[in-house]
Structure 1
Amino acid sequence: MKVAVMGAGAIGCYYGGLLARSGLPVTLIGRPQHVDAVTQRGLLLDIGQEQFTVPMAATTEVSGVAGADVVLFSVKSGDTEAVGRAMLPYLRPDVTILCLQNGVDNPDRLRAVIGGTVVPVAVYVATAMAGPGHVRHHGRGDLVMGPNPHDSEIVQHFAAAGIPTTVSATAIDALWAKLIVNCAYNALSALTQLPYGRLLAMGGVAEVMTDVVAECVAVATASGVTVSPEILPSVLGLAASMPGQRSSTAQDLAMGKPTEIDHLNGFVIRRGAELGIPTPANRVLHTLVKATEAVKRGD
């Protein structure tokens, strides 16, 4: 199984690195500084107290997807359509594209651009880039993947690489559950630049998260999504299992990069407006992150 990783950030590098380490041919497609580092000395992969150097192909060119049986699609949500259009001429007709992205509407948006087999995947992993071509794993790593024509083969290869993968007809529900977690944590972690453990220990944070989760659940339910009644305890309990983790939004904001907040809290706001459901807590967090982005840009 030949694999291409479109968007070789922390998520793409982690899973691409594990697959390459298991012996599969993997090509990372990413930014020049990461590609140069991987080309020169391989991908550095930190897991627990161990560090692995994984030799693998890397390129800055979208044509790197050519010939791939499976594409791990892990670009930022705001780039979904543009990157999809760019890689379309190079895709095999029978390629399987796994959407390893935040948010719930990326598979539909990508499918509208390229057609074919685009599979929703809920990603449960804590990773961060420690430097060019250097990814650090902080916890978990399992996937929930929608059904597709090659799911048995994919699950087998992923299992051999140490990636627990479940095939589920309710993968979209899993994506919504992850969206709710992200809406609760990402903006607050970004605005405070605190890891989850310290964040939740602050007075009032649990109450804000409770309001955010309630709004998200109302929007999800009205959208026909099944949400576990244990979603709030699950959200509030995440900090204990990942106390040192900072959200991807926090990492983007700290580096002056555009965040995905429009596809997290912003998505809930837009969907709530369509359904006539007020989302004031999500709106406040979204507005504050957007304002902070503007300050970082010097607007």
Structure 2
Amino acid sequence: MKILILGAGAVGGYWGARLAQAGIDVTFLLREARAERVRRDGLVVKSPRGDAVVPVKVVTRGGEGGPYDVVVLACKAYDLDSAMEAVAPAVGPDTVIVPMLNGHAHFAKLDARFGAARVAGGLARISGMLGPNGEILHSGASGVSFGERDGKPARPALVALDAACRKAGIDGGLNPDINQDLWDKWVMLGAIASMCASMRGTVGDIVAADEGAALMRETLDECCRVAAASGHAPSDKVRGGIEKGLTTAGAKTVASILGDMEKGGAVEAFQIVGDMLARARAHGIAAPNLRFAYAHLQAYEARRARKGLK
């Protein structure tokens, strides 16, 4: 099986490095600067599960080395348009595309470009970030989840990808109910991103405020009601786990969107918060906290645009 991974950040880089260590045929599609560094230094992984320097195959054009059995999109959601252009030459008649993007908005674009039959569902629960020299600083969780969005039995490429993950020690893998898993993650992200971006603090900082825990629960409830109206309400166990994680006193947990804002970078405002709000409105669900959070994020984006930032 041949796998192409677009991106070598915390998600794609860690996942692909572990697959390559396990002898899986993995190629990374990278921009020139990142490609040059990875060709020279390999993928440098620092992890509680073991540090490593992994030599990997790198291309800068999607047509090189293809077609591939699986194309993994491990980019930010706001880079989706350029990502689709980059991977298009790598997509053959039997290629399955596995997007590891946040939210649900990307599926409409991918389906329109490649056809829904080619596009699986996917998400990552890999904790980490890139260090100052491009090293992958993995900090704990290392799970991925993928599967058929139409509920049909998994095609051979996804079965093979699941086997590769097991060989590489990657948690999760093939999920026959990927749509519910996607909603469960989005519910969590919608709540934590809205609150961390608006309150400019960690979960612990927010919970320490007089109304912080109540506001967090209200925001989570808004997201859960949207999921339920869409036919994918989280189970009581899942919701309870999310609520516990988002209301724990002293927790250092923080949404990555806040880190992006503090660096003055681009953010997944629509994909995580705005699209959830739009779906709430479509179902007639009042979502005042999501409304405030998205306005806050839009104001941030307007300020970046005024400065000419992309």
The answer, yes or no, to whether TM exceeds 0.5 is: yes
Question: How does the TM-score come out when normalised to structure 1?
Answer: 0.89
Residue range with higher mean Cα deviation, 200-209 or 157-166: 200-209
After superposition, the Cα gap between the structure-2 partners of 1:145 and 1:49, relative to the gap in structure 1 and judged at 3 Å, is closer
Quick check: 1:256–1:293 contact (8 Å CA) kept in 2? Answer: no
Aligned 1:128-207 pairs, distance under 5 A: 128-147=129-148, 148-150=154-156, 151-191=158-198, 194-207=201-214
Name the amino acid aligned to 2:294. Answer: H
Q: Percent identity?
A: 25
> What's the secondary structure of 1:62's corresponding residue?
coil
The CA distance in 1 between the partners of 2:267 and 2:97, in whole Å, is: 23
Quick check: 2:70–2:95 contact (8 Å CA) kept in 1? Answer: yes
- Give a deviation string over 1:9-36, Cα, whole Å, max 9, x none: 2211111111111122322223343222
Name the amino acid aligned to 2:268. Answer: E
* 1:123 paired residue number: 124
Once the two structures are TM-superposed, the CA of residue 128 in structure 1 deviates from its matched residue by 0.8
After superposition, the Cα gap between the structure-2 partners of 1:40 and 1:119, relative to the gap in structure 1 and judged at 3 Å, is same
After superposition, the Cα gap between the structure-2 partners of 1:14 and 1:194, relative to the gap in structure 1 and judged at 3 Å, is farther
> What's the secondary structure of 2:267's corresponding residue?
coil
Residue range with higher mean Cα deviation, 160-169 or 178-187: 160-169
After superposition, the Cα gap between the structure-2 partners of 1:180 and 1:112, relative to the gap in structure 1 and judged at 3 Å, is same
Kindly tell me the number of residue pairs found equivalent between the two proteins: 299
After superposition, the Cα gap between the structure-2 partners of 1:217 and 1:188, relative to the gap in structure 1 and judged at 3 Å, is closer
Question: How does the TM-score come out when normalised to structure 2?
Answer: 0.86
Quick check: 1:138–1:245 contact (8 Å CA) kept in 2? Answer: no
* 2:293 paired residue number: 285
After superposition, the Cα gap between the structure-2 partners of 1:217 and 1:245, relative to the gap in structure 1 and judged at 3 Å, is closer
Quick check: 1:29–1:64 contact (8 Å CA) kept in 2? Answer: no
1:100 maps onto 2:100 in alignment: yes
Quick check: 1:42–1:133 contact (8 Å CA) kept in 2? Answer: no
1:260 maps onto 2:261 in alignment: no
Supply the RMSD in Å over aligned alpha carbons: 2.5
After superposition, the Cα gap between the structure-2 partners of 1:263 and 1:64, relative to the gap in structure 1 and judged at 3 Å, is farther
After superposition, the Cα gap between the structure-2 partners of 1:173 and 1:105, relative to the gap in structure 1 and judged at 3 Å, is farther
Name structure 1 gaps, 5 residues minimum: none
After superposition, the Cα gap between the structure-2 partners of 1:59 and 1:201, relative to the gap in structure 1 and judged at 3 Å, is farther
- Give a deviation string over 1:64-109, Cα, whole Å, max 9, x none: 5723221111222233244324422331211121111110242343
Once the two structures are TM-superposed, the CA of residue 49 in structure 1 deviates from its matched residue by 7.4
After superposition, the Cα gap between the structure-2 partners of 1:22 and 1:295, relative to the gap in structure 1 and judged at 3 Å, is same
The CA distance in 2 between the partners of 1:110 and 1:49, in whole Å, is: 34
- Give a deviation string over 1:171-195, Cα, whole Å, max 9, x none: 1111111111111112433455544
Name the amino acid aligned to 1:91. Answer: V
* 2:63 paired residue number: 63
* 2:151 paired residue number: none
After superposition, the Cα gap between the structure-2 partners of 1:104 and 1:12, relative to the gap in structure 1 and judged at 3 Å, is same
The CA distance in 1 between the partners of 2:273 and 2:303, in whole Å, is: 19
After superposition, the Cα gap between the structure-2 partners of 1:142 and 1:29, relative to the gap in structure 1 and judged at 3 Å, is same
Residue range with higher mean Cα deviation, 116-125 or 197-206: 197-206
* 1:84 paired residue number: 84
Name structure 2 gaps, 5 residues minimum: 149-153
- Give a deviation string over 1:33-52, Cα, whole Å, max 9, x none: 32222111101111117421
Once the two structures are TM-superposed, the CA of residue 132 in structure 1 deviates from its matched residue by 4.2
Name the amino acid aligned to 2:136. Answer: V
After superposition, the Cα gap between the structure-2 partners of 1:274 and 1:192, relative to the gap in structure 1 and judged at 3 Å, is closer
Once the two structures are TM-superposed, the CA of residue 163 in structure 1 deviates from its matched residue by 0.8
After superposition, the Cα gap between the structure-2 partners of 1:10 and 1:262, relative to the gap in structure 1 and judged at 3 Å, is same
